[in-house]
């Protein structure tokens, strides 16, 4: 059974209190607990990381990278085969989650599902939500060396010299966004103006076509009724004439009712209704006397064409009003463009003034930045770095500036993976000199000290130890120098195809560091050296 550290021997409540105090002392976002189940060769794993530097070591193939992958999957950075992964994070604030602790969980059956404080979230939302809190440094990630991010580093140093520099940059960026949005609107107006003549003609044609028909609400329905009446005109006239003959010859019927003593009330009512029907039929026929059937059909066809195109007479009339509004807009486009161009010109002058001051401040900060990063480069056994500032052809969100970083006059695209990671570490450390109280986050490093000499590894360890005062750091290492600096040192082992992770106590660390030093065959001298490293 692996040894139990003094920290692990403490009661759970005491451990939680100590970790809370550590978190407050570091004033940092930190992962307090990690739990993993059923992941490749891991049946289960439980960790309570330190607020500072957490190092994972162990033989190759033991499962260190798989362990990292599982945790990084919680933040949308990697994909893990784990059936269950959970991390409890303190000191973090996420939009829509107001809580002292953030619990992030992945549950995987047929597919991976993610939860934040028991609310299910998508992977993209998860990644975006934690993008400022969790960083993973690997040789494929190049964003730290993008022109925009390098200029942000310049701005940090410029703000140390000129206290209002950040306010100036923020104001510029906000105003530039407004300028860019208005410029897009102006370009859209210019496109409309280019087509205005054609569109005006088309709008006038549409209006004239509808107004020449002059449709009225309810007219179409009335005309259809007249059309039906015309089709029945002759039949109505014929039947009305026959009905009238019946009506005029009802005297014998009334005399018969009198002779045989039948009440004539019903007969009188029926004859009254018949007279009314005859009169109504005559009126309906009279309505059609002045109607021109051909004109009626032609009118119905014109209204039908509007209905087919617009869906109804009301819609056709609304279309006319819309086109008239468009005409008014088209006719005012030229005046609107001139007004907007004048406003844009004034805004551009103000932006250029701010941009010029920002560029000047950055140029003044260049020596300070290069001196700062040079001290870390020397510590990391890297040659001098230079920042090439240049102006763009037009004003941009970066105040019309671009930046490229060179290491010993070689671009970052052409340096080795080891140099790349150490250079990025130097940038991080340099930034932390100015940002110790504002940016707190979690940093994952995958074998950043691989393929370096002992002295280089020692200095990488010193830089990471300094960074761990701000960042909670998780790092995989195969070097004794970095493992000896750990606040928490975890050993990952695989036996009988089962992987385990154990927090080492002091004696456990001595043995593991000695194994690293002596390449698995632990010697007395390796033990002595391990103790010296831990005590240094």
Residue 23: predicted pLDDT? 45
Residue 435: predicted pLDDT? 65
Indicate if the alpha-carbon torsion angle 291, 297, 302, 303 is positive or negative: positive
pLDDT band at 347 (very low <50, low <70, confident <90, very high): very high
pLDDT band at 22 (very low <50, low <70, confident <90, very high): very low
Residue 228: predicted pLDDT? 73
* pLDDT for residue 25 is more than 70: no
* For range 379-384, the mean pLDDT: 87
Using a pLDDT cut of 70, give the percent of the chain over it.
86
pLDDT band at 327 (very low <50, low <70, confident <90, very high): confident
* For range 340-345, the mean pLDDT: 92
* For range 449-469, the mean pLDDT: 84
Lowest mean pLDDT among 8-17, 137-146, 256-265: 8-17
Minimal CA–CA distance to 478: which of 65, 77, 134? 65
The residue written with tokens 């259809």 in the block is: 224
Asked if residue 358 lies in contact with residue 169, where contact means CB atoms within 8 angstroms, the answer is yes
Domain that holds residue 360: 165-365
Q: Which residues of 521-532 are buried (b: 16+ CB within 10 A; e: fewer)?
A: ebeeebbebbbe
Residue 281: predicted pLDDT? 65
Number of domains composing the chain: 1
Question: Per the domain annotation, does 356 fall within a domain?
Answer: yes
> What are the strands of the beta sheet with 119-121, ordered from one edge?
119-121, 112-116, 101-108, 84-90, 30-39, 42-47, 498-503, 488-495, 53-57, 472-476, 442-446, 134-137
Within 195-292, residue ranges assigned H as helices are 196-213, 219-248, 251-260, 265-287
Lowest mean pLDDT among 5-14, 219-228, 345-354, 450-459: 5-14
Asked if residue 491 lies in contact with residue 58, where contact means CB atoms within 8 angstroms, the answer is yes
Question: Which CA distances in Å does 63 have to 107, 127, 492, 497?
Answer: 20, 24, 7, 10
Lowest mean pLDDT among 289-293, 338-342, 388-392: 289-293
Question: Per the domain annotation, does 298 fall within a domain?
Answer: yes
Residue 56: predicted pLDDT? 95
Asked if residue 77 lies in contact with residue 134, where contact means CB atoms within 8 angstroms, the answer is yes
Residue 508: predicted pLDDT? 94
Asked if residue 407 lies in contact with residue 385, where contact means CB atoms within 8 angstroms, the answer is yes
* pLDDT for residue 3 is more than 50: no
Query: Phi/psi at 78 (nearest 5 deg)?
Result: -130, 175
Question: Per the domain annotation, does 414 fall within a domain?
Answer: no
Residue 163: predicted pLDDT? 85
Strand positions, DSSP E, 92-215: 101-108, 112-116, 119-121, 134-137
Q: Which residues contact 246 (CB under 8 A, 6 or more apart)?
A: 274
pLDDT, tens digit (0-9, with 9 covering 90-100), for 463-481: 899 888 888 999 999 899 9
Give the angle 421-427-432 at the CA atoms, nearest 5°: 125
Q: Which tokens is 266 given?
A: 């019903």
Residue 198: predicted pLDDT? 75
Using a pLDDT cut of 90, give the percent of the chain over it.
36
Strand partners, 387: 405
Residue 4: predicted pLDDT? 47
Residue 27: predicted pLDDT? 45
Helices 293-310 and 313-379 cross at an angle (nearest 10°) of: 10
- For residues 189 and 520, which has the higher predicted lDDT (pLDDT)? 189
Asked if residue 429 lies in contact with residue 439, where contact means CB atoms within 8 angstroms, the answer is no
Minimal CA–CA distance to 228: which of 275, 287, 279, 282? 287
What is the average pLDDT score of the chain? 84
Prediction pTM value: 0.63
pLDDT, tens digit (0-9, with 9 covering 90-100), for 228-277: 766 666 666 666 677 677 767 777 777 777 778 788 778 777 777 777 77
* pLDDT for residue 127 is more than 70: yes
Lowest mean pLDDT among 54-58, 144-148, 269-273, 389-393: 269-273
pLDDT band at 1 (very low <50, low <70, confident <90, very high): very low
Question: Per the domain annotation, does 131 fall within a domain?
Answer: no
Asked if residue 199 lies in contact with residue 326, where contact means CB atoms within 8 angstroms, the answer is yes
Q: Which tokens is 22 given?
A: 């550590």
- For residues 43 and 195, which has the higher predicted lDDT (pLDDT)? 43
Residue 130: predicted pLDDT? 87
Question: Per the domain annotation, does 26 fall within a domain?
Answer: no
Residue 21: predicted pLDDT? 47
Minimal CA–CA distance to 215: which of 290, 311, 284? 311
* For range 136-149, the mean pLDDT: 80
* Separation of alpha carbons 468 and 171, rounded Å: 33
């Amino acid at each position: 059974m692996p040894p139990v550290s003094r920290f692990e021997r403490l009661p759970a409540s005491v451990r939680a209190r100590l970790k809370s105090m550590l978190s407050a002392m570091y004033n940092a976002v930190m992962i307090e607990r990690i739990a993993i189940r059923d992941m490749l060769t891991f049946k289960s794993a439980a960790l309570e990381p330190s607020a500072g530097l957490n190092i994972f070591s162990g033989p190759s193939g033991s499962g260190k990278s798989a362990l990292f992958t599982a945790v990084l999957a919680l933040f949308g950075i990697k994909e893990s085969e784990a059936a269950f992964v959970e991390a409890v994070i303190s000191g973090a604030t996420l939009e829509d989650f107001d809580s002292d602790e953030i619990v992030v969980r992945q549950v995987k059956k047929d597919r991976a599902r993610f939860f934040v404080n028991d609310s299910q979230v998508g992977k993209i939302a998860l990644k975006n939500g934690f993008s400022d809190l969790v960083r993973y440094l690997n040789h494929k990630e190049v964003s730290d060396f993008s022109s925009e991010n390098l200029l942000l580093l310049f701005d940090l140093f410029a703000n140390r010299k000129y206290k209002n520099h950040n306010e100036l940059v923020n104001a510029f960026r906000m105003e530039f966004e407004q300028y860019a949005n208005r410029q897009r609107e102006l370009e859209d107006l210019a496109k409309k103006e280019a087509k205005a003549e054609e569109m005006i003609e088309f709008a006038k044609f549409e209006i004239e076509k509808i107004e020449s028909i002059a449709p009225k609400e309810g007219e179409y329905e009335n005309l259809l009724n007249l059309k039906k009446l015309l089709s029945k005109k002759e039949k109505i006239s014929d039947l009305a004439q026959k009905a009238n003959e019946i009506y005029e010859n009802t005297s014998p019927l009334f005399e018969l009712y009198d002779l045989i003593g039948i009440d004539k009330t019903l007969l009188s009512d029926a004859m009254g209704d018949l007279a009314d029907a005859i009169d109504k039929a005559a009126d309906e026929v009279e309505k059609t006397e002045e109607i021109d059937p051909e004109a009626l059909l032609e009118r119905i066809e014109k209204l039908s064409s509007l209905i087919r195109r617009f869906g109804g007479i009301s819609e056709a009339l609304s279309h006319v009003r819309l086109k008239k509004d468009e005409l008014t807009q088209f006719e005012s486009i030229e005046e609107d463009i001139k007004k907007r161009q004048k406003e844009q010109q004034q805004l551009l002058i103000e932006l250029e003034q701010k941009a010029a001051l920002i560029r000047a401040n950055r140029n003044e900060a260049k020596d300070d930045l290069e001196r700062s990063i040079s001290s870390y480069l020397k510590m990391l056994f890297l040659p001098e770095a230079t920042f090439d500032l240049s102006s763009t052809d037009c004003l941009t969100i970066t105040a019309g500036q671009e930046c490229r970083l060179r290491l010993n006059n070689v671009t970052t695209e052409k340096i080795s993976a080891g140099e790349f990671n150490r250079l990025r570490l130097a940038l991080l450390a340099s930034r932390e000199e100015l940002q110790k109280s504002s940016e707190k986050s979690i940093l994952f490093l995958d074998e950043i000290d691989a393929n370096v000499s002992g002295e280089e590894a020692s200095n990488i360890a010193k830089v990471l130890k300094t960074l761990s005062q701000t960042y909670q750091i998780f790092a995989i290492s195969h070097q004794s120098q970095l493992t000896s600096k750990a606040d928490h040192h975890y050993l990952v082992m695989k036996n009988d195809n089962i992987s385990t992770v154990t927090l080492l106590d002091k004696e456990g660390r001595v043995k593991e560091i000695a194994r690293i030093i002596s390449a698995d065959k632990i010697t007395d001298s390796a033990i002595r050296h391990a103790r010296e490293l831990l005590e240094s």
